Amino acid sequence: MSETLRETMTAEDAYDGSPAKLVTLHNLAGMSVTFMDIGATWLSCIIPLKEEKREVMLGISTMSDYQKLGSYIGATIGRYANRIQAGKFEIEGQVYQLSTNQAGNTLHGGAEGFDKRRWDIEAQGDDFVCFGLLSEDGDQGFPGEVKAFVTYRLTADNRIVISYHATTTKPTPVNLTNHAYFNLIAPESGICCKGHTLQINADQYLPITEVGIPLGELASVEGTGFDFRHLKTIGQDLLKDEQQQKVKGYDHAYLLNAECKEGKCAATVISPDNEITMKVFTDKPALQLYTGNWLGGETNRSGGKYIDYAGVALETQFLPDSPNHPEWSQESCILQPGDEYRFETTYLFEY
């Protein structure tokens, strides 16, 4: 699979006239993962079951398909993941206007976010690859020159550890994440993610408008379809709440319980056939649950089309629109000169 993907993804040049560079990592257990320098993208994740080698991520297989994507499949998201209302925020009395690219708001860094860039391969070894990107002062309207790095590591016990690091020359919002979509049963099969079982270690979620902008106050998951504190299928309460009906499903941020920062599991996903369990660990304060409500029509890696709800994304991040909500109980999303942005998210696969 990885060699075929390497051939198809490099058959066409990227936007800058050169082909993408791909890196595949393997461990002794037989797991393999593939990454690409365009968008510092996670392209593939293959789990070695007894009867098959199963791909568990949604993906694409050609550069032209990647460049047409509207759903950020597998890409590194920056400078600010999720939404900033009207693309505006204020730091130290100065108002900044960003590039807007969805319903008048800034989504995932703006029209030319980090997912659209070629990252440098800074270092690589048998079990890791590190990508780096220089984002200039004023990039998409953001202040400060930011140096960003994302390192992917495959461990012997089947963990994908994603480490983020950034520095800046001026105070600026930074919120990096990966936009992988998972389908642990068979991404190209036409079987959606509704039959996956999910648990999220969070007592609160963030209600939003129909275009994904926070209404301002966190809400309890108690008594709502947003309650994933105990394992249940994604489909059990899908579209149950008015909040979900606004956006055709789950596309909401959860404020993770404090114990997640101490190493407790933030989220668990189990395949419908119970063959694979994926656990998410993170030191980020929040997690965006997106059930692929608008994936229908996106080209898949076999040349067909994905359906709505084809995969589930669990994006670890700051709460959306955090630059405009300093009152929220999470650390500041504003990176200061001299400070370092350092966060880590791990996806553990048990099978």
- Residue 319 · residue 290 · CB < 8 Å: no
Q: Residue 194: helix, strand or coil by DSSP? A: helix
82 labeled binding residue: yes
- Cα 232 to the center of its chain, rounded Å: 22
179 labeled binding residue: yes
Q: Cα–Cα distance between 163 and 170 in angstroms, integer?
A: 22
For residue 30 the two structure tokens come to 């037989």
Q: Cα–Cα distance between 86 and 101 in angstroms, integer?
A: 10
Q: Residue 180: helix, strand or coil by DSSP? A: coil
Q: Would you say the C-alpha torsion 84, 250, 220, 246 has a positive or negative sign?
A: positive
Q: Would you say the C-alpha torsion 302, 307, 313, 319 has a positive or negative sign?
A: positive
Residue 179 is a catalytic residue: yes
| 63-69 long-range Cβ contacts below 8 angstroms, 24+ apart | 63/9, 63/10, 63/11, 63/12, 63/13, 63/14, 63/19, 63/20, 63/38, 64/12, 65/299, 66/9, 66/38, 66/39, 66/41, 67/14, 67/15, 68/299, 69/298
Residue 217 is a catalytic residue: no
Amino acid (1-letter code) at residue 312: V
Which of 179, 196, 252, 325 is labelled catalytic? 179
CA dihedral 219, 222, 225, 231 (to 10 degrees): 120
Which of 55, 108, 315, 325 is labelled catalytic? 315
286 labeled binding residue: no
181 labeled binding residue: yes
Q: Rounded to 5 degrees, what angle do the CA atoms 144, 212, 78 make? A: 30
Q: Which residues are annotated as a binding site?
A: 82-83, 179-181, 251
Positions annotated as catalytic residues are 179, 315
Q: Which residues are annotated as a binding site for beta-D-galactose?
A: 82-83, 179-181, 251
